[in-house]
């Protein structure tokens, strides 16, 4: 039996974490939630994570900084960034850094799930 893909949700907004987790659970994915990038990095679950959904703006480390830190450490995780403050320059910077998707809140369930599928299986299977 194949294990479910595990997706990490890193967002300082508890309601976003929980609704996103519910969406992923209903799609048959396993989700772990974290209130900050720092708590994610300190967790023992990071090696099991196959996709990361991170808020662009959080106190402390941003989602893009988290993505960069993982890549610099040689443990990149396909990343979807979400933001309530969409900015075209940040979007371009994030995509150039290798982020899979950059979604503005509120995003649709279908858009987020398409990004997660792309992150897990590559863009050709999304």
Residue 19 neighbours by CB distance under 10 Å? 13
24 assigned to some structural domain:
yes
* pLDDT higher at 36 or 5: 36
37 assigned to some structural domain:
yes
Q: How many domains does the chain have?
A: 1
Give the C-alpha separation, 49 to 69, whole Å: 15
Average model confidence (pLDDT) across the chain: 92
94 assigned to some structural domain:
yes
CATH number at residue 59: 3.40.50.2300
Q: pLDDT tens-digit profile of 45-68?
A: 788 899 999 999 999 999 999 999
114 assigned to some structural domain:
yes
Give the C-alpha separation, 122 to 21, whole Å: 21
Q: What does each C-alpha distance from 72 to 60, 69, 87, 97, 117 come to in angstroms?
A: 18, 5, 24, 11, 24
Sorted by sequence, the CB contacts under 8 Å of residue 19 that are 6+ apart come out as: none
Q: Above 70 in pLDDT, residue 43?
A: yes
What was the pLDDT predicted at 5? 72
DSSP 85: S
* Statement: the pTM of the whole predicted model exceeds 0.85: yes
Q: Above 70 in pLDDT, residue 77?
A: yes
What was the pLDDT predicted at 125? 45
């Amino acid at each position: 039996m194949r294990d479910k893909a595990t997706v990490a949700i890193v967002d300082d907004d508890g309601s976003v974490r929980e609704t996103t987790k519910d969406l992923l659970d209903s799609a048959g994915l396993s989700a772990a939630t974290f209130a900050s990038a720092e708590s994610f990095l300190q967790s023992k679950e990071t090696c099991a994570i196959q996709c990361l959904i991170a808020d662009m703006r959080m106190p402390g480390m941003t989602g893009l900084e988290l993505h960069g830190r993982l890549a610099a450490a040689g443990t990149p995780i396909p990343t979807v960034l979400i933001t309530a403050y969409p900015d075209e320059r940040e979007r371009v910077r994030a995509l150039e850094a290798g982020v899979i998707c950059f979604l503005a809140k509120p995003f649709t369930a279908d858009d987020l799930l398409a990004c997660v599928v792309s992150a897990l299986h590559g863009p050709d299977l999304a």
